[in-house]
Amino acid sequence: MRRLCSVDDIPDGEARGFPAPAGRFVGLFAVRQGEVVRVYVNACPHIGISLEWADHRFLNAERTLVVCGTHGAEFRIEDGVCIHGPCKGDRLEAVAAEIRDGVVFVPESAGL
């Protein structure tokens, strides 16, 4: 497992992006809802482009959905399923995250 960040680095109800480390192809992003942190590969299933429209801007104004900044596709935070847009029914690639002592860890292979 590799360290992604501290849980406290992600404000509750917000998302944070993480660039691809050396040797990786795509970055990740994490969404925090209370003590739950969900991590996804930062790639729209429609054409693989990064989702955020600005640094760490992955969510809609209500902070209830992940939104692709390019196509406007909307994804549920809890499972990454696209509910609106060109990839409706598809889903974001989830990354198995583990929280230990307030730190978020992801598999070494995440983002390959």
8-32 per-position pLDDT tens digit: 999 999 999 999 877 777 899 999 9
Q: Is residue 112 part of a domain?
A: no
Is residue 109 over pLDDT 70?
yes
Q: Count the domains in the chain.
A: 1
Evaluate whether residue 83 is within a structural domain: yes
How far CA 83 is from CA of 14, 27, 108, in Å, comes to: 20, 23, 30
Per-residue model confidence as pLDDT tens digits over 67-98: 999 999 999 999 999 999 999 999 999 999 99
Domain membership flag for residue 81 = yes
Q: What is the CATH number of the domain that holds 101?
A: 2.102.10.10
**7 lies in a domain?**
yes
Question: Domain range holding 88?
Answer: 2-106
